[in-house]
Amino acid sequence: MRIYSYSEEKGISAVCGDDKEIFVGTSICLGGFDGIHKGHKALFDVAKSRGKWGVLLFDRNIKGNENLTTQTEKIKLIENCGADYVIIAEYSEKFSKRTPVEFVQVLENILKVSHIVCGYDYRFGYMAKGDAKALKELCEKADVTVLEPVMQNDAPIKSTDIRTFIKKGDISLANELLGYNYTVSGKVEKGLGNGRKMGFPTANIAYSEEKLLPADGVYYGKMLGRDAVINIGKNPTFEAEKRTVEVHIPDFSGDLYGENVEVEILEKIRDDIKFDSIDNLIVQINKDIDYVKGRKGNGQNSN
């Protein structure tokens, strides 16, 4: 997959791959694409059906620390969907003030795509004044396909709803809408070592601050393709101040410090609570491990 950048000052340039403008005459998908859920993939399928295709993204996430995907994760997921290219537009003040008409001019006269795909609720242009209907009316050189909502459980699939489920710890529902297991990625760094002192060594994941973490609690998940116990929170028994993501893989003894890893989160086991003693905490951790070990062979797939 080739990656290009676009700025108002420098125009379009290649970032990854040669400088051949493979996006000319292709299908391009428009949207925020946070999470790359089933609805987004339906857009991609429409674009893919017309031949070469890609996605237009902005160079920053706008959800603060509530993004389902970091920019790196988003690009990787788009590549996994088979995109030929991604164009990353610099979200400058000048670009943000482009009217809907001026935004369409970028698509038709600078990028020169021939087919545009967006969702029914797509907004664009200064103050989001343009909508999907306006996009169809304004485009003179490119065909426009507006996709109706992809439904699940009698409701349209939306990133907003997925964020709500994740904040509540309803990770199974979130995964159902995403179409894959929600993932937190980062480098393994040294933590306080409390788990190792109790006999349960953990990998402390240095996650991105812009990434939305599930509600504090203990989760069943996977790392390195193996079943794992995942603790998200401030370790209330030890009165820690920082919110952490710590992963314990039963019967694993390798050294992971400095490694970049992906942690898939499949199911919430329990809340993150404060125990009266370390001994009581150890008893509960053993129960959590037994639960995870009992999940082996349950048919859950690693994505």
Q: What is the pLDDT of residues 230-281, one digit of tens each?
A: 999 988 777 777 899 999 999 998 889 999 999 999 999 999 988 988 999 9
Beta bridge pairs of residue 244? 233
246 is annotated as an active-site residue: yes
DSSP category for residue 291: H
Q: What is the bridge-based pairing of β-strands 2-7 and 11-16?
A: antiparallel
pLDDT at position 34:
95
pLDDT, tens only, 144-176: 999 999 999 899 999 999 999 999 999 999 999
DSSP category for residue 214: P
pLDDT at position 21:
85
Q: Which uninterrupted H or E stretch holds 279?
A: helix 278-294
Q: Model pTM?
A: 0.90
Per-domain residue ranges of the chain: 2-150, 181-294
Domain 2-150 has CATH 3.30.565.10: no
- The correct CATH number of 181-294 out of 3.30.360.10, 2.40.30.30, 3.40.630.30, 3.40.50.1000 is 2.40.30.30
CA dist., res. 75 & res. 57, Å (int) = 9
Beta bridge pairs of residue 230? 219, 247
pLDDT at position 12:
87
Catalytic option among 21, 140, 239, 246: 246
Residues lower than pLDDT 50 in the chain = 298-303
Q: Which uninterrupted H or E stretch holds 123?
A: strand 123-124
CA dist., res. 3 & res. 15, Å (int) = 5
